[in-house]
């Protein structure tokens, strides 16, 4: 069953621990990550700073935060990009669960002084590509062998971060910072409908060097998506758990 938060009665979320969701386009959705958070009992507090939504000064009333991807670069001079990069200080300082996906991971790296950059040969990763867990990553959990990518830039591992997974074209694919902050270059949130939309609206990007052809995206999903979904389930259990657990901890602290 696919859960779309827009189709739920607002009362469904009343009193549930909230996760801050940062999106970058009017039509963007949190995809499977959002669906799985709802399934775990969380409410989604969706904000789009690009269109004027504010970001909270503290995450005291949120269980965690996710910054998703977008077509822009973490190096762009737009004010909302700078605000989001600076705002990541909040979950890092408060040691609240934070997850950056693609652009969000690059923003995390920038916040910590890391470099975000494109490949010297102009190579991109658009489609399914190999993923190699590091020793630290394997100690944490089992990782999929291939993941879905859609990016033209990567990031350096910033000071204080632990590399969890590597790639071939863009070597740094997943990092952990402190006890609860993670950045992943790939897209575990991708649903079938998102793949249809991305490969249709951004079809010219599949002509870039290194990109997979559209037919390969869908053929790859049939084979490679189940392990990615299993990884996401395990990751979310470790990263944020379930809303009932958070509520019990909050009640105990009162």
How many residues make up the chain in this entry? 254
HSE value, Cβ hemisphere, 13 Å, CA-based, for 43 = 16
Q: What pLDDT does 247 receive? A: 53
Q: What pLDDT does 15 receive? A: 74
Asked if residue 185 lies in contact with residue 155, where contact means CB atoms within 8 angstroms, the answer is yes
- Enumerate domains of the chain plus CATH numbers: 5-248 (3.40.50.880)
Q: What pLDDT does 246 receive? A: 58
Find the helix or strand (DSSP H, E) in which 176 lies.
strand 172-177
Q: What pLDDT does 3 receive? A: 44
Indicate the burial class of 10 (C-beta count within 10 angstroms; 0-12, 13-18, 19 or more). Answer: exposed
In the structure encoding, which two tokens stand for residue 230, read together?
Answer: 């299993």
Asked if residue 195 lies in contact with residue 171, where contact means CB atoms within 8 angstroms, the answer is no
Q: What pLDDT does 14 receive? A: 56
**10-residue averages of pLDDT along the chain (254 residues):** 42 74 96 98 97 97 98 97 98 98 98 96 97 98 98 97 97 97 98 97 96 97 98 98 70 46
Report the largest interatomic distance among the alpha carbons of the chain, rounded to a whole angstrom.
56
Q: What pLDDT does 245 receive? A: 74
The residues annotated with a catalytic role in the active site are 102, 187, 189
Separation CA 173–CA 166 (nearest Å)? 5
């Amino acid at each position: 069953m696919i859960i779309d938060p827009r189709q739920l009665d607002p009362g469904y979320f009343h009193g549930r621990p909230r996760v801050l969701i940062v999106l970058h386009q009017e039509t963007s959705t949190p995809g499977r990550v959002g669906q799985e958070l709802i399934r775990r009992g969380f409410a989604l507090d969706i904000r789009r700073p690009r269109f004027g939504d504010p970001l909270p000064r503290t995450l005291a009333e949120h269980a965690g935060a996710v910054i998703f991807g977008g077509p822009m670069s973490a190096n762009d001079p737009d004010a909302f990009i700078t605000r989001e990069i600076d705002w990541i200080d909040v979950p890092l300082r408060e040691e609240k669960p934070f997850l950056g996906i693609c652009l969000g991971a690059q923003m995390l790296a920038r916040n910590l002084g890391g470099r975000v950059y494109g490949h010297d040969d102009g190579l991109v990763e658009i489609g399914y590509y190999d993923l190699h867990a590091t020793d630290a990553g394997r100690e944490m959990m089992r990782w999929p062998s291939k993941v879905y990518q859609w990016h033209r830039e990567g990031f350096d591992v910033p000071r204080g971060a632990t590399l969890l997974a590597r790639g071939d074209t863009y070597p740094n694919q997943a990092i952990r910072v402190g006890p609860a902050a993670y950045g992943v270059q790939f897209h575990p949130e991708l649903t079938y409908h998102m793949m249809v939309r991305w490969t249709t609206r951004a079809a010219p990007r599949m002509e870039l060097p290194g990109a997979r052809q559209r037919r390969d995206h869908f053929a790859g999903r049939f084979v490679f998506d189940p392990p990615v979904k299993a990884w996401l389930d395990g990751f979310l259990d470790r990263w944020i758990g379930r809303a009932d657990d958070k509520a019990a901890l909050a009640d105990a602290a009162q």
